[in-house]
């Protein structure tokens, strides 16, 4: 318990350092643009591919498990849409990003720590926590919602393609299903979750990397911890946010 | 001038530095020597503020540095340059961007002036036609020289070097030592160098302190080091076979 509280205290103190006034806004702006590319744009591919196939599988599974003639066929499209919006695009995509982005952040900052690059920043009088972590936080907080929207669109598209190619639903039925009883608030709910998850992934991973001590072995361990802790926190906050936002 | 008074530092209750007092002089190459694990790096990092000390005072001229908060330390830190053991160049930046980095953060110069300063610093350390290379593409000696160029980019008053020639061949090591000495005289800096390399000691040791198990055992210069009667220092200085042979011949 004391260990947990100590770590939590260090995490809060790190965040305090991260959110202090930037030294030079122009340099931070450039750094943020670089992180948009490193952490955001490079994630579009994997999110699109996984979303496409997840949408396809959800559609096929819904179709094969609802063969009762009482159920209208368009419910397959509705099921695909709601699954993609409510859960996949935010939570599952966040777990994927915890693996890709989280390990990347922890490894990058951890390597900078063990090779004394962070010490070099401190010697120059630069707030290293803010310089290294704030641009990553801004980039993921702004870009991950875009990834969520991409995941929703591509996933539903994948569901439509798979459903029609497999002959389990017609295009008209699928489109009717994805329009049927649409609740726009679900998108807001999904985007709120995405922003919270983006904060968890980036801050927890950066924390793991920033306090690495030792060498390459410890950097590897920090990367693993970043992914594990981020994933557990994402699942925990998924429950909390769902209760808060949908009850 | 940097003055350290009664400095103590420990990790997890284990004393690493005990009651160190020393004055590092301006315009001279001040060396901290000692065996691996003797506390040299901890002392250097304590002086620059990377480690918080338990007790003692660190004075930069008339300013008590270790009692300042982060904001006030920044002013003095902008006058520091540091060369790390592993160079600590930023991997994601080119040579040119590495040297330009402190200028971008702190200098009030336009792009042309910054570019001019970068080229001057790189030329000063004999790095030519490598502006666009990344640190991973450089040799060990080149990395050290780029790190020196970055350290002097803002015309520092204080230069700190942590084992500047570790991992370098003897000829490159001497070149790095000479470069540091020249720059110290040229810019009238207070330079502190951590080393366990006796070649460096004999080449550039204008002021030397010897640390053993976190305690300052001896203080002097390169002329006095060979005639000292400090036993632990003699064990260190005459550790290798060649030195022992020379000593017995001299005796």
pLDDT in tens, A103-115: 999 999 999 999 9
Q: What integer pLDDT is reported at residue B251 of this predicted model?
A: 64
CB contacts < 8 A (A, B):
56
**Is the ipTM beyond the 0.90 threshold?**
no
Euclidean distance between CA atoms B70 and B64, whole angstroms: 13
pLDDT of B241 > 80? The answer is no
Mean pLDDT for chain A?
94
Position with higher pLDDT, A176 vs B75: A176
Q: What integer pLDDT is reported at residue A62 of this predicted model?
A: 93
Interface mutation target, options A26, A107, A124, A215, chain B, most CBs of B under 10 Å = A124
CB-based contacts of A149: which residues, under 8 Å, 6+ apart? Answer: A89, A191
Q: Which helix (H) or strand (E) holds B30?
A: strand B29-33
Q: What integer pLDDT is reported at residue B250 of this predicted model?
A: 65
pLDDT of B230 > 70? The answer is yes
Task: Indicate whether A17 belongs to any domain.
Answer: no
Percent of chain A exceeding pLDDT 70 equals 100
Euclidean distance between CA atoms B152 and B99, whole angstroms: 9
Task: Indicate whether A4 belongs to any domain.
Answer: no
pLDDT in tens, A121-134: 998 889 999 999 99
Cβ contact A123–B73 (<8 Å):
no
Mean pLDDT for chain B?
89
Interface mutation target, options B102, B140, B155, B163, chain A, most CBs of A under 10 Å = B102
Instruction: Give the pLDDT mean for B45-63.
Output: 92
- Cα distance from B48 to chain A (closest Cα, Å)? 7
pLDDT of B62 > 80? The answer is yes
Instruction: Give the pLDDT mean for B76-97.
Output: 91
pLDDT of B75 > 90? The answer is no
- Where b means 16+ CB within 10 Å and e means fewer, B137-167 reads ebebbbbbbbbbbbbbbbebbbbbbbbbbee
pLDDT in tens, B175-200: 888 889 998 998 899 999 999 888 88
* Chain A positions with Cβ closer than 8 Å to B: 23-24, 26-27, 111-112, 115-117, 119-120, 122-127
- What would the two tokens of residue A193 be? 């979750």
Euclidean distance between CA atoms B43 and B20, whole angstroms: 9
Task: Indicate whether A12 belongs to any domain.
Answer: no
The total of structural domains in chain A comes to 1
pLDDT of B156 > 80? The answer is yes
Interface mutation target, options A16, A116, A215, chain B, most CBs of B under 10 Å = A116
pLDDT of B69 > 70? The answer is yes
Q: What integer pLDDT is reported at residue B65 of this predicted model?
A: 92
Task: Indicate whether A15 belongs to any domain.
Answer: no
pLDDT of B171 > 90? The answer is no
Task: Indicate whether A14 belongs to any domain.
Answer: no
Task: Indicate whether A3 belongs to any domain.
Answer: no
pLDDT in tens, A28-72: 999 999 999 999 999 999 999 999 999 999 999 999 988 788 889
pLDDT of B111 > 70? The answer is yes
Cβ contact A123–B48 (<8 Å):
yes
pLDDT of B249 > 80? The answer is no
- Cα distance from B171 to chain A (closest Cα, Å)? 25
Under 8 Å between Cβ of B97 and B52: no
Cβ contact B84–A124 (<8 Å):
no
The verdict on B85 touching A (C-beta cutoff 8 Å) is yes
Which residues between 119 and 158 in chain B have a beta carbon less than 8 angstroms from any beta carbon of chain A?
A: none
Nearest residue in chain B measured CA to CA from A17: B70
Query: Which pLDDT band holds residue B16 (cuts at 50, 70, 90)?
Result: very high
Cβ contact A124–B105 (<8 Å):
yes
Under 8 Å between Cβ of A176 and A74: yes
Query: Which pLDDT band holds residue A151 (cuts at 50, 70, 90)?
Result: very high
Note down the domain range covering A46: 24-246
Task: Indicate whether A6 belongs to any domain.
Answer: no
Cβ contact A27–B104 (<8 Å):
yes
Task: Indicate whether A91 belongs to any domain.
Answer: yes
pLDDT in tens, A201-233: 999 999 999 999 999 999 999 999 999 999 999
Cβ contact B105–A23 (<8 Å):
yes
Interface mutation target, options A13, A108, A117, A216, chain B, most CBs of B under 10 Å = A117
Domains along the sequence of chain B with CATH: 2-222 (3.40.50.300)
Q: How far is CA B48 from CA A109, A116, A168, A178, B229, in A?
A: 22, 14, 70, 62, 32
Cβ contact A117–B88 (<8 Å):
yes
Chain A residue numbers touching B167 (CB-CB < 8 A): none
Instruction: Give the pLDDT mean for B46-74.
Output: 90
Out of B70, B84, B105, the one facing A116 most closely (by C-beta) is B84
Nearest residue in chain B measured CA to CA from A21: B71
Nearest residue in chain B measured CA to CA from A132: B90
Chain B residue numbers touching A110 (CB-CB < 8 A): none
B59 CB burial (10 A radius; 0-12, 13-18, 19+): middle
Chain A residue numbers touching B73 (CB-CB < 8 A): 125
């Amino acid at each position: 318990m004391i260990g947990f509280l100590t770590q939590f205290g260090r995490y809060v103190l790190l965040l305090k350092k991260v959110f202090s006034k930037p030294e030079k806004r122009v340099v931070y702006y450039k750094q943020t643009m670089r992180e948009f590319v490193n952490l955001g744009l490079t994630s579009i591919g994997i999110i699109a591919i996984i979303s496409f196939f997840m949408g396809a599988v959800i559609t096929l599974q819904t179709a094969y498990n609802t063969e009762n003639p009482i159920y209208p066929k368009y419910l397959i499209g509705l099921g695909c849409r709601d699954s993609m919006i409510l859960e996949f695009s935010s939570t599952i995509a966040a777990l994927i990003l915890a693996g890709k982005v989280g390990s990347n952040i922890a490894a990058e900052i951890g390597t900078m720590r063990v090779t004394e690059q962070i010490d070099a920043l401190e010697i120059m009088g630069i707030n290293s926590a803010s310089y290294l972590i704030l641009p990553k936080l801004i980039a993921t907080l702004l870009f991950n919602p875009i990834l969520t929207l991409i995941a929703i669109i591509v996933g539903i598209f994948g569901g439509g393609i798979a459903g029609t190619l497999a002959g389990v639903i017609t295009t008209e039925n699928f489109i009717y299903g994805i329009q049927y009883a649409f609740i726009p608030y679900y998108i807001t709910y999904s985007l709120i979750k995405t922003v919270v998850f983006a904060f968890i992934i980036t801050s927890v991973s950066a924390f793991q990397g920033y306090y690495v001590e030792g060498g390459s072995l410890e950097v590897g361990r920090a990367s693993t911890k970043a992914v594990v802790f981020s994933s557990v926190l994402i699942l925990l906050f998924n429950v909390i946010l769902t209760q808060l936002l949908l009850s | 001038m940097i003055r350290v008074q009664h400095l103590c530092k420990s990790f997890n209750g284990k004393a690493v530095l005990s009651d160190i007092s020393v004055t590092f002089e301006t315009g001279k190459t001040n060396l901290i020597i000692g065996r691996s694990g003797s506390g040299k790096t901890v002392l250097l990092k304590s002086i620059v503020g990377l480690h918080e000390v338990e007790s003692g005072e660190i004075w930069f001229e008339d300013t008590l540095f270790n009692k300042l908060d982060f904001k006030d330390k920044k002013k003095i830190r902008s006058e520091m340059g540091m060369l790390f053991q592993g160079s600590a160049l930023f991997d994601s930046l080119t040579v040119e961007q590495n040297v330009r980095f402190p200028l971008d953060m702190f200098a009030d110069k336009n792009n042309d002036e910054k570019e001019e300063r970068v080229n001057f610093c790189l030329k000063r350390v004999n790095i030519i036609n490598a502006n666009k290379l990344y640190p991973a593409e450089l040799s060990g000696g080149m990395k050290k020289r780029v790190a020196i160029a970055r350290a002097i980019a803002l015309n520092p008053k204080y230069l700190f070097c942590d084992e500047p020639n570790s991992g370098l061949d003897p000829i490159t090591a001497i070149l790095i030592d000479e470069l540091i000495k020249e720059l110290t005289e040229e810019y009238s800096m207070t330079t502190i160098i951590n080393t366990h390399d006796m070649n460096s000691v004999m080449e550039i040791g204008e002021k030397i302190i010897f640390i053993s198990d976190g305690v300052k055992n001896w203080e002097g210069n390169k002329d006095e080091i060979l005639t000292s009667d400090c036993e632990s220092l003699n064990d260190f200085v005459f550790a290798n076979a060649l030195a022992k042979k020379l000593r017995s011949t001299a005796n």
